[in-house]
A and B are shown apart, each in its own frame.
Chain A
Amino acid sequence: GENVEQHPSTLSVQEGDSAVIKCTYSDSASNYFPWYKQELGKRPQLIIDIRSNVGEKKDQRIAVTLNKTAKHFSLHITETQPEDSAVYFCAARQGGSTLGRLYFGRGTQLTVWP
């Protein structure tokens, strides 16, 4: 199966600074890479995703980049705010599989200090 590794496990930033979370995957045929945000005590929710035929995607203050050659993708949050504090999970959908299964990283606890 696919193996997704995520770093760092914890990240603290000052409000207004940028935050970057990185993930690597093992299967070069993986074709879909979503990012989920989980606030304390709540369910994970999709915040942004990217397909393997796209190198970068932006949505206001968040962006995701994908490097297929190196098999890694990253989440970038600019102008961080306290409400960005949460656990962020990256995931990969293994290529060739029609079952829709996602493989998740272990998560990054982001804390934004006011």
Chain B
Amino acid sequence: NAGVTQTPKFQVLKTGQSMTLQCAQDMNHNSMYWYRQDPGMGLRLIYYSASEGTTDKGEVPNGYNVSRLNKREFSLRLESAAPSQTSVYFCASSLRPGLTYNEQFFGPGTRLTVL
């Protein structure tokens, strides 16, 4: 099993450009998440999908959109990138909502720089 995979690993954008970060998991998990990680700020939730067909905003959703394409895939889109979106982005998945032990498994991350 590959676990959680993300593409691309690195990306440089110019202000105003758009791009989509891809995430896929092969663990048959129901829930998927997108986080951003900035120095000293920990992991902040952007959007999550508790189950296929549902998506919800997290702490910092402005400037982002998501699509839960199917049970395996959850993409994050930046419509018009801004320098404030320079960050490391992590995708994660967990088995299903409602479980107390709801370990989240993280992907390897995407390092995004917006010039």
Q: Which residues of A contact B (CB under 8 A)?
A: 1, 6, 9, 31-32, 34, 42-46, 49, 51, 89, 93, 98-102, 104-107
Q: B27 in the interface, Cβ–Cβ < 8 Å?
A: no
Knowing A100-B31, A101-B45, A106-B40, the reply to whether A32 touches B97 (Cβ < 8 A) is no
Knowing A104-B42, A104-B43, the reply to whether A99 touches B97 (Cβ < 8 A) is yes
Contact of A43 among B40, B100, B101, B107 (CB under 8 A): B107
Does B98 contact A32, Cβ atoms closer than 8 Å? no
Q: Is the interface of B mostly helix, strand, loop or mixed?
A: loop
Q: Which of B29-76 contact A (CB under 8 A)?
A: 31, 33, 40-45, 48, 50, 56, 58-59
Interfacial chain B residues near A101, Cβ < 8 Å:
33, 45, 48, 58
* Known A9-B40, A100-B104; 17 more pairs at CB < 8 Å: A6-B42, A43-B106, A45-B106, A46-B103, A49-B103, A93-B102, A98-B50, A99-B50, A99-B56, A99-B97, A100-B31, A100-B94, A101-B58, A102-B45, A102-B104, A104-B42, A105-B42
Interfacial chain B residues near A105, Cβ < 8 Å:
42
Interfacial chain B residues near A34, Cβ < 8 Å:
103-104
Total number of B residues with any Cβ neighbor in A under 8 Å: 28
A42 to B90, CA, bound (A): 10
Interfacial chain A residues near B48, Cβ < 8 Å:
99, 101
The 7 lowest CB-CB distance pairs between A and B, nearest first, are A106-B42, A43-B106, A100-B97, A100-B102, A104-B43, A98-B98, A99-B50
